Amino acid sequence: MKRLALGFAVAAIAGAGIAWTLTAARPVAAERLEAIAAIDGSASAGETLFWAGGCASCHAAPGADGDAKLVLSGGVRLKSDFGTFIAPNISPDPDAGIGAWSIADFANAMLAGVSPDGQHYYPAFPFTSYTRMTDRDIADLFAFLKTLPPSQVASLPHEVGFPFNIRRSLGGWKLLFFTDQPRVTLAGPDEQIARGQYLVEGPGHCGECHTPRNPIGGFVSDAWLSGAQNPEGEGVIPNLTPGGKSISGWSASDIAYYLESGFTPDFDSVGGSMVDVQKNMAKLTGGDRDAIAAYLKALPERANGWE
C-alpha cells in the first residue's frame, strides 16, 4: 500500500513538472530577435501599420479624438466572458509605458504574447493575429511608436477572477490555439489577395471579433470570419464571408469604398465599434483597402457563426 501511495505521489509530481514545463512562456527564438534588432525601422512605414493594427482604438484614452488618439495612455475596457481587460499604457514613457522596452521586448509581445518579465499576455491583446507580422513590420511599428507623445498615466490591472487570473494557464491555452499559420488556405492567391490576407489575418486582426469562439476562448477553426456574438452582449458581429448576408451582395469596390468612407452601397453609414475600425482603415492606401476587399471576396462561404 505504501508503495502504491509512493507511486501515485511520484506520478503526480512528474505530471506537475511536465505541466509546468509545457505551460512556460516561449519567447521568440534568439536568432529571429537578433535579425529584427538589426533592421533599421522606418517610422513612416510604421504609421501605416499603426492604423492597420488599430492600436489607438484600444490604447488611446476612452473617447480620445484627433491628435489625442496618438497619446497611448490606455484605459479602454474590453468586456468578455472571462472578465474585463483594460488596455495598458503603451506610450514611450519609460515608467508608465513601454519607453524602456527593447525591440526584443516588443517583438516578444507582438509575436509570442510574452511580456518583458516572461509572463503570458492575455489574448485580449491580439498577439494571436500579430504573430503573422513580418520582421520588417515589427521593426517599423516599433519605430513609429517611439515617436508618439509619452503619457505618465498608470496602467490599470485587469478585472479577471479565479481561475482566469492564473496566467500560467495561458500556456496551456496557447498550446491548443496559438499558431502563426494562415487562417484559411486559398488556392493560388494573386499578389493582391495575398496582401489582403496578410492585412486581415495579421495586423488588422479582423478575426478577433468576426470569428466565433469556443467556451474557452479559442477560435472555431472552420468558421473563420463567419461572424460571432457581440462580447459586449448586444447584437452580433457580422459574417464577412460570401456565405453571410452582411456583405455578400457587395462588390469588392463596395467593400473598399466602405472602408474608405464609412458608407454602405445602400447609403447607410458605419456604426457601433466599427466606427473606429473604419476610421483606421481610411488612413491606409487605396491599394491596401482594395487588397482587403479582394481577400474577403475570395474567402470560402461560411454559415453565420453565431447561429
Asked whether residue 8 carries a pLDDT value surpassing 60, the answer given is no
Same domain, 158 and 204: no
Same domain, 60 and 157: yes
Q: Which of 149, 145, 179, 122 is nearest to 55 (CA)?
A: 145
Asked whether residue 181 carries a pLDDT value surpassing 70, the answer given is yes
SS3 letters for 211-242?
CCECCCCCECHHHCCCCEECCCCCCEECCCCC
Of 4-8, 35-39, 48-52, 124-128, the poorest mean pLDDT is in 4-8
Q: Which residue has the cell 503603451?
A: 90
pLDDT given at position 7: 52
CB atoms within 10 A of CB 103: 18
Angle, helices 135-145/103-112, rounded to nearest 10 degrees = 120
Same domain, 101 and 211: no
Same domain, 51 and 79: yes
Burial environment of residue 225 by CB neighbours within 10 A (0 to 12, 13 to 18, 19 or more): buried
pLDDT given at position 3: 54
The band of 233, judged by pLDDT with boundaries at 50, 70 and 90, is low
pLDDT given at position 76: 94
**Mean model confidence pLDDT for the chain:** 91
Cα separation, 11 vs 97, in Å, equals 44
Same domain, 140 and 117: yes
Spacing of C-alpha 33 from chain mean position:
20
Q: Is residue 4 part of a domain?
A: no
CATH of the domain at 211: 1.10.760
Count: domains in the chain: 2
Cα separation, 144 vs 32, in Å, equals 21
Helices (H), 23-54: 30-37, 43-52
pTM exceeds 0.85, yes or no: yes
Same domain, 169 and 237: no
Element of type H or E holding 83: strand 83-86
Last residue within a domain, chosen from 177, 201, 229: 177
The whole domain housing 248 covers 191-298
